[in-house]
Amino acid sequence: MIRLNGPKWCEFALNLDLNWNALLDAISTCHVATGPSIAWLCSPRTPRRVGEMKSLLFVAVLALTCTGVNAQMAGWRPSPGHEQIAIWPGTPPDAGAVIPKGPETVTVYKDNPVAGKPVIGVSNVTIPTMTVYSPNGKNTGVAMVVFPGGGYTDLAIDLEGTEVCDWLTSRGMTCVLLKYRVPDSGPAWHDDCKCNIHPKAPTALEDAQRTVGLVRFHAAEWHIDAHKVGVIGFSAGGHMVADISTHFDKRAYKPVDAADKESCRPDFALAIYPGHLRENTKKDFDLNPLVPVTHDTPPTFLVQAEDDHVDGVIQSLVYYIALKNAGVPVEMHLYAQGGHAFGLRRSKFPITAWPELAEKWLVTIGMLSQ
């Protein structure tokens, strides 16, 4: 839904039959800076037929995004053929703990591109949803719930969301993309105090637990093996992976229906450049005590770069040590270069091959076959 504000006749909303994710992906290849004015869109001479307006809006969004500024749109929608499903039947628990700064907003961040492409972020999420992407070709029965990163401030919905689903579905796995609540749904850095603020309620964990339970509840319907449901997360989403991997024996909210009777323990977990695993500690190489690893923590796969200056490689190291000491099967891959927030986008660094290593790991733990 795109809204234009201008003369009264131009204050309208159009449901466009456009694949906005594909549009944004195409826009990301634009390298020519232009400075067009779109004031003519709402001028008295502007064509008013819906078909013409759709074409004009397409061109306008393309032109805006090809400038040097970040483009914004209201609300995220998945690509055609996929439906967002609200994970809560009514008002989410602890709804008052997440205070948005405005309506849900999609922003195309062009100032810090990854592999030459901008990153699409979603902010001010108050209604968490899941979007199910079915596997292409042979169905392995494996499913992964994806937690995009974004510092518990927004969600990198393409880099660490839909692009992850493209990979998983191409390998015969079901992908469930969780658009969880932000901001401040987990430990988040605040510039005003130069400190991490802990949430009033663990709403991101609540959304994660609820979603894993829903996947198992719908396993037969979605052709998923209920014993092959895992999680994968990036950055703050990597912290969510550790959080749900160590908080599954009891829901963080009051159960609402039959789906909450299903186990929310992941069968396996992948934490990619995770963060927030060193907080609340006083000694070197101590793990965040709010991530209580036990022998029942699921098998885990870790990836991080030594030049990650956002979260730091020590995040993976302390989690690896705790998992190893608890007897949890764990595989860790550390690389000299790669930085932070690289997702699955190809680069010149060896770390770009981590998805192939993850697939091999899934074979070794019995989730995928050779």
Q: What are the per-10-residue average pLDDT scores of the chain (370 residues)?
A: 33 39 45 31 38 45 51 86 96 92 94 94 97 96 98 96 98 98 85 77 97 98 98 98 98 98 98 93 90 98 96 95 98 97 96 98 96
Q: Are 181 and 128 in contact (CB under 8 A)?
A: yes
pLDDT of amino acid 196: 73
pLDDT of amino acid 69: 57
Query: For the chain, which residues make up each domain, given as ranges?
Result: 2-69, 84-364
Least Cα distance to 76 among 4, 147, 154 occurs for 154
User: Cα–chain-centroid distance for residue 146?
Assistant: 6
For the chain, the distance separating the N- and C-terminal CA atoms, rounded to the nearest angstrom, is 44
CA gap 91, 93 in Å, rounded: 6
| Signed CA dihedral, 311, 278, 145, 228: sign only | positive
Return the CATH number of the domain spanning residue range 84-364. Answer: 3.40.50.1820
Q: Check residue 2 and give left, alpha or beta (phi > 0: left; psi -120 to 50: alpha).
A: beta
CA gap 213, 252 in Å, rounded: 13
CA gap 197, 194 in Å, rounded: 9
CA gap 30, 298 in Å, rounded: 42
pLDDT of amino acid 33: 30
Q: Are 281 and 292 in contact (CB under 8 A)?
A: no
pLDDT of amino acid 200: 87
φ, ψ of residue 28 to 5 degrees: the values are -65, -15
DSSP-assigned beta bridge partners for residue 107 = 72, 121
Q: Are 213 and 200 in contact (CB under 8 A)?
A: no
DSSP-assigned beta bridge partners for residue 255 = none
pLDDT of amino acid 13: 35
Quickly list DSSP for 114-168: ETTEEEEEEE-B-S-EEEEEPPSSS--S-EEEEE--STTTEEETIIIIIHHHHHH
pLDDT of amino acid 282: 86
